[in-house]
Amino acid sequence: MFYGSNPSRKDNPGRVISNAPETLQVPVTAICAAWLLGMPRRAGGWLHAVTDEEARQWRWLVSERLGGLVHQYQDERFAALRPALAPRDGALR
């Protein structure tokens, strides 16, 4: 016994009928431009994948710069030392 619909029936529509709006056609140039704009971030993610993983294991902050091509790593413990290392009287500038 088979309960599927018969695609060759006369009353079966050739396309799906729904109340959803039609999909927009995006120009190929827009797709290519979006792909090119995302390339530095993808390349940076690929280049820095190993060092990013190690930085996260050490609980460092990882920030992306220059569109994702440059990654910067910061240890929060050094931020706590920064006020203690600042000159007190302002003579050493």
Q: Which residue has the tokens 């431009």?
A: 33
pLDDT (tens digit per residue) in 11-27? 665 666 666 666 778 88
pLDDT average, residue stretch 1-15: 61
pTM, two decimal places: 0.52
> Which residue do the tokens 């599927």 mark?
4
How do the domains of the chain map onto residue ranges? 50-85
DSSP at 90:
S
**Three-class DSSP category at 33:** helix
Tokens linked to 84 = 């203690």
User: Following DSSP, what letter does each residue of 4-21 receive, concatenated?
Assistant: S--TT-TTS-SS---SSP
Residue 72 to residue 55: CA distance in whole angstroms: 10
